[in-house]
Copies of this chain bind each other. A is one copy, B any other.
C-alpha cells in the first residue's frame, strides 16, 4: 500500500530523577503523540542517568539507528546538566559559548532584570555546526546537531521546543487508528484476532487487556495509514466477534 515508509525516530530521556522514581517522566508520552500525528514512527525510547559514558553511547547508537533522535533533560545551568557536553563529544564537535545563543539569553535576562552569571552562560554553550531550537518559555535554546534534537526536560519547555522543531521535519503519512473496546477476556478473542492480523498484513492489530471492577476486557486497536483499510478490518472484526 504505502510506497515510502515513514521516517523513524528514537527518544533519549536523560536524568537520574526518572530512574530513581522521584519524578515521573511526562515527555515520552507527549512526544509519542506528536510524532504519531506527524507521521514519524517512534521506534525506541531509552532512559539513562546523568552519566557521560552512558549518554554518549546511547546518543551514538540511536543516532546511527534512526532517522531522528529527540533528547530531553540536562541542558540547564547546574553542574549536573551535562547533556550538551556529551552530545558534542558524541559528534566530535567543539562546544563553547556561542554568540547567537548568548545574545538570546542576554536579551532575556535584561528584560527580566537578572544578571548574566557563569552558570547562566553555560546555557549558551552550543556545539559548532548546531542549529538553535527556539525556547519561547525561558529563552535558553535547545539545538539540533546531525539528526539529534536536544531539548529541555521541564515539560512545559520540552513541549514548546517540540513545537519549534516539528515544522522543520519532513513527516510521513499520519498513523491512523480505530479502537474497539470489548468486555471479554483476551483468551476468548485471541483466535479471531490472529486471523484478522494475518488477513490484513499491512495493518497493525494490537490487543491491550484491562481489568475494571474485577471484569476482564480488552481494547483492540487497528493501526495503519489507510483509513479505508482500517474501516474494512474493523467491520470484519465486529462481525466475527458478533458485536
Expressed in whole angstroms, the minimum distance between the Cβ of A72 and any Cβ of chain B is 13
Is A118 a contact of B17 with CB atoms below 8 Å? Answer: no
Stretch at the interface among A93-101, A128-136, A189-197: A189-197
A80 interface residue, CB < 8 Å from B? yes
Secondary structure of the A contact surface, majority rule: mixed
A187 interface residue, CB < 8 Å from B? yes
Contacts of A187 in B (CB 8 A): 77, 114, 117, 119-120, 123
A226 interface residue, CB < 8 Å from B? no
Interface 1/0 per residue, A14-49 and B, CB below 8 Å: 001111111111001111111110000111111111
Bound Cα distance A204, B175 (Å): 42
Contacts of A137 in B (CB 8 A): 211
Bound Cα distance A223, B44 (Å): 29
Is A29 a contact of B20 with CB atoms below 8 Å? Answer: no
Contacts A54-B44, A76-B186, A206-B17 known; A117 to B36 CB distance under 8 Å? no
Contacts A79-B197, A154-B211 known; A117 to B205 CB distance under 8 Å? no
Bound Cα distance A206, B82 (Å): 12
Bound Cα distance A16, B117 (Å): 45
A138 interface residue, CB < 8 Å from B? yes
Q: How large is the interface on A (under 10, 10 to 19, 20 to 34, 35 or more residues)?
A: 35 or more
Contacts A185-B114, A209-B154 known; A194 to B21 CB distance under 8 Å? no
Is A19 a contact of B32 with CB atoms below 8 Å? Answer: yes
Bound Cα distance A17, B119 (Å): 40
A156 interface residue, CB < 8 Å from B? yes
11 A-B pairs in the complex with CB atoms less than 8 angstroms apart: A16-B223, A19-B41, A20-B36, A21-B36, A44-B47, A44-B49, A44-B54, A76-B186, A77-B187, A78-B189, A138-B216
